Amino acid sequence: MSLQPNVAALSADPFLDRLDGVIDRALAEKRIVGTVVLVARDGDRVYERAAGLADREARRAMAPDTIFLLASITKPFVTVAAMRLVEQGVIGLDDPVSSWLPDFRPRMADGTEPVIRLRHLMSHSAGLSYGFLEPQGTPYHQLGVSDGLDHHPGLTLPENLRRLALAPLAFEPGAAWRYSLGMDVIGAVLEQASGESLPSVVRRLVTRPLGLADTGFVVTDRSRLATAYADGNPEPGLIEDGMDVPLWDQAVRFAPSRIFDPEAYPSGGAGMAGTAGEVLALLEAIRRDGAPLLRAETVRMMMTDQIGSEAQGPGWRFGLGWAVLDDPGLALSPQTKGTIRWGGAYGHNWFIDKESGLSVVVLTNTAFEGMSGAFSLDVRDAIYGAAP
């Protein structure tokens, strides 16, 4: 498998001009500040472009090796680490969370204590939530639960999980889907099961075997870090610590400097930084049935619906670590059934269309246009043949 550009494919692929047009238009319209877009087909990198600015105020150009705050692109890295421990027999998907974290015992609103299993956490079917999805004045806000993107100096992971466990579950585990802090709980389970810190576990089980140098829970080179921006008119504005950025009916509170605080707990759902090329390396391992990290049968199970209901839009279900396309027609997507995808709140999107041999990484420094705005859809459609 090669991750170097294939010159023949580059010159032959008709989507190249379409992708360039999508990127150029988004930059000209000031919907994004900068981006790195990578497309691999059957293991060959057929498109790579770094465009716009990594830091607008410093006039620093975006580069292929720019480091981004990954937000929820952390989740597939931590999920793969967890599944490696499952394969090794260290943990089990049906283990009750309380067998690893005895004090983590969330209850229903009526006071009953259901069993939450590890698979519920990884499929976001545990009945947990995120504070940014909850209305102001409700328990997540009253208890001061961190979403792993904001910063509460001195807040430890055990304390955040203590607060989280005091909030009533939204439903019986396994009964529905709700995006949640489940991967932060998984991070605590991995620490308990391995006797290592979460950064150490992910490094040992995922990033080091893949040869990744810049992806982890610290920023390896601050001079290459992309500055974070939020959607705005006439142009995106800087994201500062403590800023609330509107998303759907609520708002996400960001703290870009959180990653520089060595005392900030490592968030298994949002705490990593890395480059587009290294994210692509993980996606390619998944597309290749898990090698060199996981067995093929494990990856097939992870790419299979685990919830039996809609997740984040019509036509989409959820596996372990990512959404799974169940009905392309209902989703109005040109991708094939079984495609997996997810994104990141700082402005990112990725997908693997295994049947088409495609792995695609779209990292921007603009929230939320790069995650859930028109840009990510325009990139997708350009790859599949729509005109810019």
Who contacts 338 (Cβ-Cβ below 8 Å, separation ≥6)? 303, 324, 325, 354, 355
Structure tokens at 141: 């806000």
The Cα–Cα gap between 168 and 51 comes to 45
The Cα–Cα gap between 343 and 322 comes to 9
- The 3-state DSSP class for residue 51 equals strand
CA proximity to 74, closest of 330, 346, 334: 346
The Cα–Cα gap between 352 and 47 comes to 15
User: Between the CA of residue 88 and those of 84, 156, 298, what are the distances in Å?
Assistant: 6, 28, 12
- Which DSSP letter does residue 193 get? H
What is the 3-state secondary structure of 332-358?
A: CCCCCCCCEEEEECCCEEEEEECCCCE
Which of 2, 72, 267, 309 is labelled catalytic? 72
Residue given tokens 């360039």 in the structure block: 20
Q: Torsion angle of alpha carbons 174, 175, 181, 187, nearest 10°?
A: 0
User: Between the CA of residue 332 and those of 19, 305, 325, what are the distances in Å?
Assistant: 20, 19, 11
Instruction: Give, rounded to a whole angstrom, the gap between the first and last alpha carbons of the chain.
Output: 30
45, amino acid identity: R
The Cα–Cα gap between 97 and 94 comes to 9
The Cα–Cα gap between 131 and 66 comes to 30
The Cα–Cα gap between 330 and 105 comes to 37
Largest CA distance in the chain: 63
The dihedrals phi and psi of 377, each to the nearest 5 degrees, come to -70, -40
72 is an active site residue: yes
Tell me the chain's radius of gyration from C-alpha atoms.
Answer: 20
> What positions carry a catalytic annotation?
72
